[in-house]
Structure formats: C-alpha cells, structure tokens
A and B are shown apart, each in its own frame.
Chain A
C-alpha cells in the first residue's frame, strides 16, 4: 500500500473551514484515498473516499490533485464535535486499512 504523510496536529476555529492535507506520492492507479476519523477511543468513523475525482458528501469534501500525489479533506464548517484524529489512508485490492498516526484536529470555540 502507498504510504501517506499527514501533519501531526492542527487547530481550527469553530465555524471556519478546516483543510486537512495528505501526501501520498507513491499512490498507484488503482489505489483509493480514504479518510476516517476517530473521536477519543470510539470506533473510527468513515468520512469520504475517492479515486481520481473530487468528492463531496454531507460530512466533507475531498479534493485530489490531478497527479493524485496529494489530497485535501475539507470540513466546511467545523464544530467542536469535529475534534478528533483524522486518518488519510490509501488502499487497494486487499482492502485492509493501514492506519498511520493521523492528524489530531482541535476545533476551538
């Protein structure tokens, strides 16, 4: 599986957009980019995933660069409940998720 690089932490103001970057320069053509988050010790929560095109759902937007070597998860209006560890994962045919250290996002009032 391709490896991902994320900043260890970031702060965001409540009500503002949070932009979470992820580098995956060794991604191959059939590998998807997945985003999950984990709030405290709860089970990881699926957010969004994509292959080539930008994706949007009720939780977030995923912007993937044209060369697919990086992506950005956008939380449009961060709330205090969005404080969590966010994981960017690249996965392919074996479908198992390899979680790294993720980005600890703290939303401040």
Chain B
C-alpha cells in the first residue's frame, strides 16, 4: 500500500461526457502528479501540482484540467470524452519535488 488513494477504481461512461478523478496523496506529501497509461502510448506524464500550484505540464489535452485543493487532494477533470481517452489514470505524490514519487492503484476509465 503506497498510501496514495485514488477514486473511483473503475469508471465507465460514454463519449462526450465529463468525469472527475480524485486523488488523496500520502500524508505529508505536497506534490501531486497525474499520469495516463494507454495501450498504445505507455505511461505518460500529464501534470504536476505542488502545494496547490501548477508546477509542470506534460502531454495534457486542453479538454483535461486538474487542480490541487488546500487539503492537498487533487482532482483531474476530463471533458468531451473520446474513445481514445480510455486508459488507466495514475496519481502519484511525493514529499517534495526531488523525492521519489509513490503511485496510487489508478482509475481505469472506459469510454463506450
């Protein structure tokens, strides 16, 4: 158990819909990272927050957005969903930016 909690574990929805994925970091961790893992793209970094502020962006689509709240939990919002958005979405957290990241078990998103 990494200490990072992601909900829901599974999500099934339709094209065009909007979903929110939630992540609770390990106690004391200030940094939260989001990653997407699809069959054809592998594990890809999406975005990072540190103590509530966006710090780095990766290959995140404009239809996707994220935020980190004062209690340090984070949400990843995916809108106008397409079939290609079907993937595993992982959240990771770390104490500080230059420390190992610890991953949650992911949310499996299926778009029908």
Contacts and interface: CB of A to CB of B under 8 A. Distances in A.
| A interface majority secondary structure | loop
B106 A43 contact: yes
Given A34-B100, A45-B103, A46-B100, A100 B42 contact: yes
A96 B88 contact: no
A96 B35 CA distance: 10
Contacts of A97: 33, 35, 43, 45, 92, 101
A98 B105 contact: no
Contact of B58 (A43, A49, A87, A96): A96
Interface residues of B, number: 27
A38 B98 CA distance: 21
A65 B108 CA distance: 39
Contacts of B33: 96-97
| Residue with the highest number of chain A CB atoms closer than 10 Å, among B43, B44, B45 | B43
Contacts of B90: 43-44
Contacts, number: 55
Interface residues of A, number: 19
B101 A46 contact: yes
Given A43-B90, A49-B100, A96 B105 contact: no
A41 B35 CA distance: 13
A27 B100 CA distance: 18
A34 B35 CA distance: 17
A88 to B, nearest CB: 13
B56 interface: yes
Interface string A45-63: 1100100000000000000
Contact of A43 (B48, B56, B94, B104): B104
Interface string B36-66: 0100001111001000000010100000000
A89 to B, nearest CB: 10
7 contacts: A43-B106, A44-B103, A46-B101, A87-B43, A95-B56, A95-B94, A95-B101
